[in-house]
Structure 1
């Protein structure tokens, strides 16, 4: 792009219509159709003459360009504005007698941040002074939106979308960087090698479908293996070495570097840098399907973690696109994709019809998972109905469940089998049950204050489950095949901000009371896994004490 050519363009006295002043309004819009991209949209307000440039210029697709500020967007927009007027705002292949190139009288946009950034970029590259003053105006929003609607309809009518759905697919609006500020992003820095390994392993493996096919009884062992492998990787290659290999085109190194950025492991978390290296993997001709699927999965996290308040439309569609691509490449949905599908996509699709009309592979994967869960749940419920008392702790205030009938301790007294309670520990509810512990007595089990969903029943291994408050207070179920009921209850209390008795003990002290479980690195890793899932409400002292002997 030669700035001198743009500066040399004459100021045409009239617009392309020849009837009105040659002033132009522009904005940036996100086209969420596959493949998604941003476009520069230009409109001459008085004549409604329009022009569109897909960004970035010359790229096969637009997924590499996803600016989060006016400053990030300005270089591409400045180039596209110059290109548009150098090409006379027409496609020469379609025009027999295109008008000669000309410069606009003035440029305006409705976003203050974008106006300042484009003006600054124009000045930096040497565009003549009068065009560096980009005006800020909301006066042309209606004509811009109305003009873009026609373009949008022509885009979606060519797609395989039911005719009845097309009217419900709203055209994208101009992006306002002034009202959006990305949320704080990235993990807290940790120095402990094991913590680093677990953090890396969690981020990497939550975007792979292999994580879904590990039996609960093997989860802790697998985490330990993954954490150990991550520790070896982190110690064997410095961050500079990984970056050098990534820049040289090594696909595995690019994904490795992106994960280190996300986890704050030797490099300060940077959303733009994380995005850049994930796109390198996705667009690489040599990257495996697995690497690309994981990169798409990590971008789902990138989009959904953009805000702690609400997810802007282009971030929603961006996340859905990458989740869909992850499914296509892997042939199934990873834990990250399933989380996005259930927690965000499905609720939002009830409001935004376009989300249901697009991303068919993703919707099929979610439906497949729904059916799998439903079948397991139905099987578990049938088994549970035969003797439901065996699977849930009978104590009114205890919400621990067991996956197998032998997971809890049934009362050894003389009460009848069909009303015999089961408990997670000896001391749990004997005071309440004692008067009923005799033949012919009624059931002593009281109704719990909160409903408890049946989970885990029907599995081949013995698993204990308890409800806790997860990140942002969202309810979640924690399952374990190694932890004691005492520890599960402690996590439940800590998840709601309480400091229960024993939280200042070491892990060895907590486990010393159990004759069935040995103190092992595997158990400690599961403890770390729980803490990461629960979040910052876990007392830091407990975390450090729990892993100091590993």
Structure 2
């Protein structure tokens, strides 16, 4: 995906460079301390930071080497010392061979030289760079890299001065300028990404639903659908996903992706995350999405989807928190997703509203960038405000707005307290409510795949519309459609009957005898304080 090879001639040259205990000036020691830092200024990326502690002479180089376009630097996002070492080792070698960049400006540059010794703060990175040096054939005396915190304060102070020169050109207000905190060296030893992905489910329908949901969340057009149509479309997408996944194996999808198909790369990346025919693998998932982003043949929509899918890659890196570089990288991908297609997908808005905005209150630097993303969030807040205003007006006209989510149940409640709300992780705006635990149990198979943050609404459209009924009592009222004595549909409202009893009344009115319905309608009504119930004719 990015250059990791190094010319053998470069290794030979590096091995023959003079290695002195003192720098060429003879004034300071020839020891160098290095670390890896994530620069979150757009376009973000990682840099190798080198410092000679005694002289505080510094050198920085963007990683990976050999990429002319700075916007491509997120190709390199290591999560361990082992992943970082190949690029860091190569960058260290080239830094000394090129005289820290002086050769490209000075017609008569001084002769390059090798360090006497190297160190870094992160013990994991030190060990892995040592291994990489030995693998490349670097002479043994240069392969001993010390892990130490002795030079961290000096390195941080020097980098801060370098950082101030970087942000001066941003033309930011003074408070935001002061909030642009310089990044620290990455310590892989203290962070390990949590196990990623879900166990493969034997249920074909559930696998297809997860697959369809992933693409639904990064589809800008999905937001254009009315809420009443979302569930129906998800069922259609799920059915289409089932047919597609049956028609093409994951092995075939990988072959097509490796052959250069952008659509197949997206498909295979989602299969990896959903554990469909291939085990979840963070690095592999990100690899195929970055291929789409960097592709010359991918459409803007495909690239936007790849950026959207990567948001979850960064935000799911830790269980209870998110490290700074992951947050900034996720914001970058969300912003790019919008720029490409001119609108925000559900996944982008979910990240912005649920993660970015709360963290931006404490991390002010998040407010200084991502213009497209912040504009989209402002727009969404305006939409939410209008939707809430519209909903409030609708509630005034229709107090019986709470309906049991079970597909076969038509019980309505006058107040939210009259129904049981799902206590799972699904978002409040799409939480289903139920008239009883039995209805909740019946609907669980349908709702279970949706019971997670960011999932769309799982409530299925009823076979027939339920008209609103005016509220006659001040307390909680349950309502159900029944057949009147003359066969005309009517609504039965009660503040005393249980949902089970209401359903029995409905069955009796339709000439059916429900299970356990061994009592007459009169008996049921007499034990339920029938004076609290009322019948209204449906227009």
**Normalising TM by the smaller chain, what interval?**
0.7 to 0.9
2:162 corresponds to: 151
Give the C-alpha shift of residue 212 in structure 1.
Answer: 1.5
1:186–1:269 Cα contact (<8 Å) kept:
yes
1:476 and 1:184 map into 2 onto residues whose CA distance is 27
Distance 1:244 1:91, change over 3 A: farther
The reply to whether residue 139 of structure 1 matches residue 139 of structure 2 is: no
Give the C-alpha shift of residue 235 in structure 1.
Answer: 1.5
Distance 1:128 1:263, change over 3 A: same
Per-residue deviation, residues 54-83 of structure 1 (Å, max 9, x unmatched):
100011231100000000000000000000
The reply to whether residue 380 of structure 1 matches residue 391 of structure 2 is: yes
1:542 corresponds to: none
In structure 1, the gaps of 5 or more residues are: 394-399, 402-406, 411-421, 425-447, 453-464, 492-502, 511-522, 536-550
1:414 corresponds to: none
2:427–2:452 Cα contact (<8 Å) kept:
no
| 2:311 counterpart SS class | helix
1:251–1:286 Cα contact (<8 Å) kept:
yes
| 2:291 counterpart SS class | helix
2:529 corresponds to: none
Give the C-alpha shift of residue 18 in structure 1.
Answer: 3.8
Per-residue deviation, residues 495-514 of structure 1 (Å, max 9, x unmatched):
xxxxxxxx4xxx5xx7xxxx
Of the three residues 331, 334, 340, the one matched with 2:345 is 334
1:390–1:408 Cα contact (<8 Å) kept:
no
Of the three residues 25, 29, 34, the one matched with 2:37 is 29
2:424–2:452 Cα contact (<8 Å) kept:
no
2:242 corresponds to: 231
1:384 and 1:190 map into 2 onto residues whose CA distance is 41
Per-residue deviation, residues 312-332 of structure 1 (Å, max 9, x unmatched):
000010110001111111222
| 1:158 counterpart SS class | helix
The reply to whether residue 391 of structure 1 matches residue 374 of structure 2 is: no
2:460 corresponds to: none
1:469–1:475 Cα contact (<8 Å) kept:
no
2:15–2:138 Cα contact (<8 Å) kept:
yes
Distance 1:27 1:140, change over 3 A: same
Per-residue deviation, residues 289-310 of structure 1 (Å, max 9, x unmatched):
1111110011100000000021
Of the three residues 99, 103, 117, the one matched with 1:92 is 103
Give the C-alpha shift of residue 478 in structure 1.
Answer: 3.1
2:515 corresponds to: none
2:217–2:347 Cα contact (<8 Å) kept:
yes
| 1:54 counterpart SS class | strand
2:211 corresponds to: 200
Give the C-alpha shift of residue 409 in structure 1.
Answer: 4.7
The reply to whether residue 130 of structure 1 matches residue 141 of structure 2 is: yes
Give the C-alpha shift of residue 382 in structure 1.
Answer: 3.1
Q: Bigger radius of gyration, 1 or 2?
A: 2
The reply to whether residue 527 of structure 1 matches residue 447 of structure 2 is: yes
2:91 and 2:56 map into 1 onto residues whose CA distance is 19
TM-score by length of 1: 0.75
1:305 and 1:54 map into 2 onto residues whose CA distance is 26
Per-residue deviation, residues 508-550 of structure 1 (Å, max 9, x unmatched):
xx7xxxxxxxxxxxx97x4354356699xxxxxxxxxxxxxxx
1:466–1:478 Cα contact (<8 Å) kept:
no
The reply to whether residue 371 of structure 1 matches residue 387 of structure 2 is: no
The reply to whether residue 349 of structure 1 matches residue 269 of structure 2 is: no
Instruction: Tell me whether 359-368 or 211-220 shows the greater mean CA deviation.
Output: 211-220
Of the three residues 59, 64, 89, the one matched with 1:56 is 64
2:427–2:453 Cα contact (<8 Å) kept:
no
2:336 and 2:420 map into 1 onto residues whose CA distance is 34
Per-residue deviation, residues 42-101 of structure 1 (Å, max 9, x unmatched):
000000000111100011231100000000000000000000011111332322432111
The reply to whether residue 469 of structure 1 matches residue 423 of structure 2 is: yes
Per-residue deviation, residues 177-232 of structure 1 (Å, max 9, x unmatched):
00001011111111222111111001121111122222222222211111112112
Distance 1:265 1:17, change over 3 A: farther
2:313 corresponds to: 302
Equivalent residue pairs, number:
441
1:469–1:534 Cα contact (<8 Å) kept:
no
Distance 1:321 1:470, change over 3 A: farther
| 2:292 counterpart SS class | helix
2:420–2:434 Cα contact (<8 Å) kept:
no
2:337–2:344 Cα contact (<8 Å) kept:
yes
1:42 corresponds to: 50
1:455 corresponds to: none
2:232 corresponds to: 221
